Amino acid sequence: MFDFSYTIWIVLIPFFAFLLIGFLGHKFKPVVSGIVGSAGLFTSWILSIFTAYKYFFDVGKIDGVYQQIIGYHTLWLRFSDTLYIDMGVFIDPISVMMLIVVTTVSLMAHIYSTGYMKGEKGFMRFYASLSLFTFAMLGLVVATNIFQMYIFWELVGVSSYLLIGFYYERPSAVAASKKAFIVTRFADLGFLIGILLLSYYTGTFDFLTLTSPTGPAIGTPPTATFIGMSVMTWAMILIFMGGAGKSAMFPLHIWLPDAMEGPTPVSALIHAATMVVAGVYLVARMFPIYVTVPIALQVVAWVGAFSSLFAAVIACTQHDIKRVLAYSTMSQIGYMMCALGVSGMGGHEGLGYMASMFHLFTHAFFKALLFLCAGAIIHAVHSNYMYDMGGLRKFLPITHITFLIACLAIAGIPPFAGFYSKDEILVAAYHHDTALFAIEYIVAGLTAFYMFRLYFGIFWGKKQDYHHTPHDPPLSMTLPLIFLAFGAMFAGFVPFSALVTSDRLAFDIHTEWIIAIPSIVIAIVGIGVAYMMYLKPTQIPAKIARSMSGFYTASYNKFYIDQLYLFITKKIIFNNISRPIAWFDRHIVDGSMNGISYVTNQASDKIKGFQSGQLQQYAMVFVSGVIALALVFIYLWT
Amino acid sequence: MFEGVPLSWFLVLSTIMFFVGVYGFLVRKNLITMLMSIELILNSVCINFVAFNKILYPDHMEGMFFTIFIIAVAAAEASVAIAIIINIYRRIVNIDVEKMNEMKY
């Protein structure tokens, strides 16, 4: 058996890079931290590629089944013989695939940032946080048990918070980082309760035990029920709530668009390719259990489908290019969730599972590419807004080509990566539930439309008067763009059905043209509409906006979800719960404590004269006491 | 040597010595005098020990041992006390106990 224990270093190297940059970075020039971070990650990347090669093509498969291997394992915290928490490296198809995704995108973001963040104040802090994030994300994907996953889950939350609030002098960035942290923390409350429920009833945290077909969760599930649903359903829905928070599913999505306040490489790495798919990964990791609780799986499917439609509609009306990309991310993650929700277990039944992981993989490439391109564009024109851009194709040729590739990939035009994965998702949805298929089909059209609205608006359209001629970014930034563009072009040819499947057995897929052709058609229709509306400045968009002004305004204002949250928190929760509790705290709790201290204070003030410092006075009292006691003993003690 | 002297005489003597000592400790302001009063109290106890031992348990020696022990301890205690008093005198040029009221609330 091949020894996978070296894989722990994939996780630990970024951690050491974080320590090195965080504690010693200020002693060197800023560029050193960039080199240390990138070099560390490069090592991790090489190790991940090696692991993937070894696992998928050499030793991972026994009798056609990919094995679940514990590469490294240590007892971390021991409470009793039955309650203990392990740390380790779990190697199976999805974790190896995630290792590749995380290290690749992270490496690209690291290299890109050496150019993008050049000269920024806090360059070292940026790299330290980036390394911390990478460490946490890698720890999350290789978790051997749900508690380790939860720990790293929170760590990615913290590092995301640090990076969103990177420009901490800007109030909007501070607000955005707080919002992201609080919303995801709120979701993680559900996650934690879910973990506790699950582990209480099954007696284990371990994924291997939990997902084994004869294990305590699947073989002999607990029979307890609560309000008409089995306890397992509740646990899985609550765990999904944590995943929904991290993956920005409706209605916990409100933090993601605001998280775009962070530097663009961070948006590419954390809020597009890696952290936000942690929720999908979580559901995929627990998938064998989800299959046994159809209600929870149904929730996953519908939340995913609704989020994808909801976000796609909003994305069509936004002007901030990073926000459009943020909503597009939310929409694509909805796709992945929906695919998991419509999947079954094993063979062709598990098509949705495979498609979801496939889409996660391809999406990481083209979405990271889109964000990095957006960074290059913002770098060139110093604005986030579409109406400040136009006609940039002459100035930014490399960015233009790579952005176009990414747009074609996300729109699902063959042979780019997005087509293959999206097609599999549509097939899976079609065979499961026509309503879900219809939603996803519409979303496919909307995706093509809003991406090409962006593309035409930025690179074609009316030329703006730029303060200085925009130009392509330096090599350190274009190199990742080109690399990821290759990923976006060719990632679709990876034979996922032979590598990553629900039961870890290979199965045959074939393109179902009856679904593939309509999906290409609707993508082309979307592109065509965008072409007509945005290639040259026309009056059509304004006319359409006016003809459905109510809907347009609602979509432009993100359907007032933020306002709804503010109303619920500020008007209802603050006034009716927080204020009375604060009053109780100040007046009753603090009051009684203050009362006790006041009484003590006054009493001691009254009797402190007793301690006069006069030795003979003390002696007098002592002697009087002795005499009094003596009299008591002599005359009263009978 | 003290054949025929009843026990009560010794006890009366030691009681008088004890209360003279207590009175001196409580009333006199001079630290040296107070120290002497303490010696009086200790010695009255010694007399009690010796008298009880001699008259009630002539074949035991514990009372004698305790007395010698007390004398030794008293000597040590007196030397420490005098050292403290000398230090106090050097500091405030006074050995009046009422002036020594620094340690109060």
ipTM for the predicted complex: 0.86
| A202-208 long-range Cβ contacts below 8 angstroms, 24+ apart | A203/A82, A204/A145, A205/A85, A205/A86, A205/A145, A205/A146, A205/A147, A205/A148, A206/A86, A206/A144, A206/A145, A207/A90, A207/A143, A207/A144, A207/A145, A207/A146, A207/A285, A207/A286, A208/A68, A208/A70, A208/A90, A208/A144
Say if B79 falls within a structural domain: yes
Say if B1 falls within a structural domain: no
Selecting from A609, A613, A620 the residue whose C-beta is nearest the C-beta of B101 gives A613
Measured CA angle at B55 (ends B54, B60), to 5 deg: 50
Give me the pLDDT at residue B41, please.
94
B30 phi and psi angles, rounded to 5 deg: -80, 130
Radius of gyration, alpha carbons of chain B = 17
Selecting from B26, B100, B101 the residue whose C-beta is nearest the C-beta of A619 gives B26
Burial of A346 from C-beta contacts in 10 A (0-12 / 13-18 / 19+): middle
| Chain-centre distance for alpha carbon B101 | 24
Q: What share of chain B is helix, strand, coil (3-state, %, to 5)?
A: 75, 0, 20
Contact assignment for A620 to B26 by CB distance below 8 Å: yes
Convert the pLDDT of each residue in A346-400 to its tens digit: 777 788 888 889 999 999 998 999 999 888 888 888 888 877 787 787 888 888 8
**CA–CA separation, A44 and A63 (whole Å):** 30
Please name the residue that has the structure tokens 């980036």: A130
**CA–CA separation, A243 and A169 (whole Å):** 31
Contact assignment for B26 to A611 by CB distance below 8 Å: no
**CA–CA separation, A389 and A458 (whole Å):** 5
Say if B91 falls within a structural domain: yes
A225 phi and psi angles, rounded to 5 deg: -130, 160
Q: Which range among A150-164, A264-278, A482-496 has the greatest average pLDDT?
A: A150-164
Say if B105 falls within a structural domain: no
Instruction: Report the C-alpha dihedral over residues B85, B88, B89, B95, rounded to 10 degrees.
Output: -70
| Chain B residues with CB-CB distance to A620 below 8 A | 26
| Chain A residues with CB-CB distance to B103 below 8 A | 613
What CATH number has the domain bearing residue B40? 1.10.287.3510
Q: What share of chain A is helix, strand, coil (3-state, %, to 5)?
A: 75, 5, 20
Contact assignment for A616 to B97 by CB distance below 8 Å: yes
Tell me if chain B has a CB within 8 Å of the CB of A608.
yes
* Lowest mean pLDDT across A318-327, A388-397, A402-411, B71-80: A388-397
- Choose from A615, A617, A621, A623 for mutation: most chain B CBs within 10 A: A615
pLDDT at A1 over 70: no
Give me the pLDDT at residue A231, please.
86
Contact assignment for A615 to B100 by CB distance below 8 Å: yes
Average pLDDT of span A41-60: 88
**CA–CA separation, A189 and A184 (whole Å):** 9
Give me the pLDDT at residue A475, please.
82
DSSP reduced 3-state for A49: helix
Q: How many CB atoms lie within 10 A of CB B98?
A: 12
Tell me if chain B has a CB within 8 Å of the CB of A612.
yes
Convert the pLDDT of each residue in A449-465 to its tens digit: 888 888 888 888 777 66
Average pLDDT of span A38-51: 91
B12 phi and psi angles, rounded to 5 deg: -60, -45
**CA–CA separation, A16 and A57 (whole Å):** 30
Give me the numbers of helices (H) and strands (E) for chain A, helices first please.
27, 6
Q: B99 to chain A: nearest residue by CA?
A: A614
CB environment A302-335: b (16+ within 10 A), e (fewer): bbbbbbbbbbbbbbbbbeebbbbbbbbbbbbbbb
CA distance A610 to chain B (A): 9
Average pLDDT of span A583-611: 91
Give me the pLDDT at residue B78, please.
93
Burial of A365 from C-beta contacts in 10 A (0-12 / 13-18 / 19+): buried
CA distance A606 to chain B (A): 12
Per the structure block, which two tokens stand in for A42?
Answer: 């490069």
Domain count within chain B: 1
Say if B64 falls within a structural domain: yes
Tell me if chain B has a CB within 8 Å of the CB of A64.
no
Give me the pLDDT at residue B21, please.
94
pLDDT at A604 over 70: yes
Convert the pLDDT of each residue in A221-251 to its tens digit: 777 777 778 888 888 899 999 889 888 888 8
pLDDT at A116 over 80: yes
Say if B55 falls within a structural domain: yes
Q: Where in the sequence is the domain holding B15, given as residue range(s)?
A: 7-99
